[in-house]
Amino acid sequence: MASTLSMILYFLIFPGLLFTAAVGLLTTWVDRKVSARVQWRVGPPWYQPFADILKLMGKEIVIPEGAKRTGFLLAPLAGLAAVGVVSMILWLTNMRGTGFVGDLIGVIYLLTIPSLGMIIGASASSNPLASVGASREMKLVLAYELPFVIAIFTAVTKISPMSLRLDSIIQYQDANGVLLGSASCIIAFIVCLLCMQAKLTYPPFDIPEAETELMDGTHMEYSGPALAVVKTTQAMMLFTLPVFFITIFWGGLKLTGWGLLYTIVKYVIIVTIAVLIKNTNPRVRIDQAVRFFCGPVTVLAIIGMILAVAGF
């Protein structure tokens, strides 16, 4: 009973929903501030993302006429819950000594849920622009999932004995140095960073949202608390994905002494790369994006896999 209660607390407060949301929103502020400075603007104060979410919480939810109410409202919640669970799994595995066994397949699966949630929610909204956004999101997911999974499995191949358990990957790195030191994992890491851009729907892959084409596409009909959930999920993804990559490739999170500083530096580096790619690229077309992920990126991921099998 006590363990169930602590699991619920883990999920709801730390390191689950509340903590992830807070750090994620703070990261979106870093993103906004850095973008603003790159673009010669001043940028918002640090509490702006929190103020935005708070404001949305007080607004009315408008459900469009003809929308499927349940699907429309539940889909974003599914995404939020999934990211919360992923974050909890990652952190509990990283806090060595809890005896928690993270399952890699589960994490990869849960990381797709927010995208699926948006597809379902947008399709349920009965808005033509949102449904175009949903179809774009679907194509994008189909395109980037394969290289993403191959890249993650490169790390699995690399460790010995091979294991799909997150804690084995961390233990291997603790004993033998970070995986990012090998050529195959550097390639896999680059592939992961590119897929992260698409998972976050950041430019150049903000195609499903495409403000100037689809008026926020998949998010178009969401308002009030529902929009707040959508935005928070995105912010949490911005936090969870780098943590996932650090866990897999970069020695995991260390939360004591100098390790903490080192962890923060790693996190900031990954976020900065994402923000810089975001600010130096225009949006590509969906066919270009699909061709990019199915072509060069998948080939790159396979090369990484072959190198890993060959022992590099």
Partner 1 sequence: MSTLIPIGPFHPVLEEPEYISLYVDGETVEDADIDLGRIHRGIELLAQEKTYDQDTFLVERICGICSASHSWAACLAMEDIVDVVIPDRARYLRTIVHELERLHSHMLWVGLAGHILGYWTVFMWGWKYREPVLDCLEAITGNRNNYAWYCPGGVRRDVADEIWPGVLKAMDEFAVQTDMLLHAILDDPVILGRLKGVGILTTEDAIAYGTLGPTARGSGVPIDVRRDEPYGAYSEVDWDVMVQDGCDCLAVAAVRLLEMLESVKIIKQCIEKLPAGPIATEVREIPRGEGIGHIEAPRGETFHFIRSNGTNMPERHKMRAPTFNNIPSFRPRVKGESISDAVLIFAVIDPCYSCTERLAVLGPDGRPYMKGKDLIALSHAKTEELRKNS
Among 120, 214, 230, 275, binds partner 1 (CB under 8 A): 214
Binding mask 133-162 for partner 1 (x = CB under 8 A): --xx--------------------------
Phi then psi dihedrals of residue 40, to 5 deg:
60, 35
Q: Per CB under 8 A, does 38 bind partner 1?
A: yes
Which is nearer to partner 1, 284 or 302 (by Cβ)? 284
Which is nearer to partner 1, 56 or 210 (by Cβ)? 210
Looking only at residues 106 through 135 of this chain, which bind partner 1 when binding is defined by CB under 8 A?
128-129, 132, 135
Pick the piece of the chain touching partner 1 (CB under 8 A) from 203-211, 218-226, 227-235, 301-309.
203-211
Q: Per CB under 8 A, does 171 bind partner 1?
A: no
Among 34, 163, 281, 306, binds partner 1 (CB under 8 A): 281
Q: Per CB under 8 A, does 280 bind partner 1?
A: yes
Q: Per CB under 8 A, does 42 bind partner 1?
A: no
Q: Per CB under 8 A, does 98 bind partner 1?
A: no
Q: Per CB under 8 A, does 208 bind partner 1?
A: no
Which is nearer to partner 1, 20 or 218 (by Cβ)? 218
Q: Per CB under 8 A, does 4 bind partner 1?
A: no
Q: Per CB under 8 A, does 211 bind partner 1?
A: yes
Give the residues lining the site for partner 1 (CB under 8 A): 35, 38-41, 128-129, 132, 135-136, 203-204, 206-207, 210-215, 279-288
